[in-house]
Structure 1
């Protein structure tokens, strides 16, 4: 599969393939880094919709945030600029740079909630059609579609929370451009410095969604907060509500081992 992707990507660029290697860490897509005949490197990847991902990366770049330049996209393959990275993670300075970059991303806004098309995390659909207000979007497009994946007790608690979101979430926060899958694995760095965001699942929504995701499986710390700026009033109470979405996605993709996380987040949300 990886070699087929390398050859398909080279053909998409009209180039000859000199060498390639698979890139580790992709749970939901195949990724290869290639060296092209005559020099130059690129990254090729599969995905649910390479052309949609290309548009998302262009939107991130247009917001002034580092992201791989799109070289070409087809129904099967996305060809990208190979950004510098060494897999060693961010230093404190790099976390501050990431915080400032995410703040720039969130200052870019759209006309409404959602995105121009639906997307997916593997087999899990990401519906993005607009709704009248933000609490309704979070309930109908993010939380409630996962009810069939939950045991009855957790499903009832999730339904209670969804019914009460009008009292818990702002009705009309800024419609920020969201990365949509902001965790450390989608942040590139070299020498501790931030070099770019990859693997987006963009849509427009409350900026706290990205911040909640970033804190779900890690701890960015004070340097990120210094770069991003102070939280909105009430953010800590909303965080578990926003973290439920990636937790539910993990249940649907990887199984019941994540049900405990869902239960803990419902506990934290007080339902």
Structure 2
């Protein structure tokens, strides 16, 4: 049997394996099977990908919606901290979603910044969080992939959608969709399968995207710093405009 071997830090590999196993247990969307986990390597199922066909987006949308629709009677967060790329991801549990996103997502990124202008803008964006939920939106805890950019999904030769390289948590499902829209866009037909966005999503998605932009700014710098600044300033402006 052909396998794919990932090597790296033991904690990173363990977190990925745990995420893949949890996603697989939902029986909603395909992920690589975990065969072996060692201190220095993770042995996964080898998957052969094909060019997405015309119906892929809708199938992908249905599968992701099925994952997100599973009810979990859990606080937001996860069983342990994990990793968003190479950055440690805090998963301290909270019953309140805005509190979780502030304390376990944006504050840890803010602490990593060494850019006073950007840090000030992020602080203002954090202050704006309550205004994004004044419409009564109250997400429930869904199991999310956590890093669902276009490089972390694909289509198998039989047309099956597959996702990989997760950093799972119990979170607002909108956070996965917002990431899909950050560096590119979901495949054509995705919304037909997944469903229409809820009221207020167009505002909230910037909050979820800011986390990923800040992570890229911390890891890579460059243009991600300016993108993070624009996103943070836009969130603060949304609060000012009401």
Q: TM-score, normalised by structure 2?
A: 0.87
Cα deviation digits, residues 223-259 of structure 1 (max 9, x gap):
0000101111110011111100110110111123311
> SS where residue 29 of structure 2 aligns?
coil
> SS where residue 146 of structure 1 aligns?
helix
Looking at CA atoms only, which structure, 1 or 2, has the larger radius of gyration?
1
Q: Does 1:216 align with 2:192?
A: no
* Alignment correspondent of 2:30: 66
- What's the offset of the Cα at 1:79? 1.0
Return the alpha-carbon distance in structure 2 between the equivalents of residues 163 and 95 of structure 1: 36
**CA 1:115–1:200 in structure 2 vs 1: closer, same or farther (change >3 Å)?**
same
The answer to which structure, 1 or 2, has the higher relative contact order (CA under 8 A, 6+ apart) is 2
Determine if contact 1:99/1:225 at 8 Å carries over to the other structure. yes
> SS where residue 3 of structure 2 aligns?
strand
Cα deviation digits, residues 184-223 of structure 1 (max 9, x gap):
1111224593441110000011011000000001122550
Which is worse superposed, 200-209 or 59-68?
A: 59-68
Aligned equivalent of 1:257, options 205, 223, 235: 223
* Alignment correspondent of 1:144: 107
**CA 1:267–1:92 in structure 2 vs 1: closer, same or farther (change >3 Å)?**
farther
Q: Does 1:75 align with 2:39?
A: yes
Return the alpha-carbon distance in structure 1 between the equivalents of residues 25 and 44 of structure 2: 16
Task: Return 5+ residue gaps in structure 1 as ranges.
Answer: 1-39
* Alignment correspondent of 1:121: 84
- What's the offset of the Cα at 1:269? 2.1
Return the alpha-carbon distance in structure 2 between the equivalents of residues 150 and 105 of structure 1: 37
Cα deviation digits, residues 131-160 of structure 1 (max 9, x gap):
241111111111122224152222122112
* Alignment correspondent of 2:214: 248
Aligned equivalent of 1:185, options 151, 165, 177: 151
Runs of 4+ in 1 over 4 A off after TM superposition: none
Aligned residues: CA RMSD: 2.0
Aligned equivalent of 2:162, options 191, 196, 199: 196
* Alignment correspondent of 2:63: 101
Cα deviation digits, residues 64-92 of structure 1 (max 9, x gap):
21111111112221111112214x3x233
> SS where residue 4 of structure 2 aligns?
strand
Return the alpha-carbon distance in structure 2 between the equivalents of residues 123 and 186 of structure 1: 15
Aligned equivalent of 2:5, options 17, 40, 44: 44
Task: Return 5+ residue gaps in structure 2 as ranges.
Answer: 238-242
> SS where residue 45 of structure 1 aligns?
strand
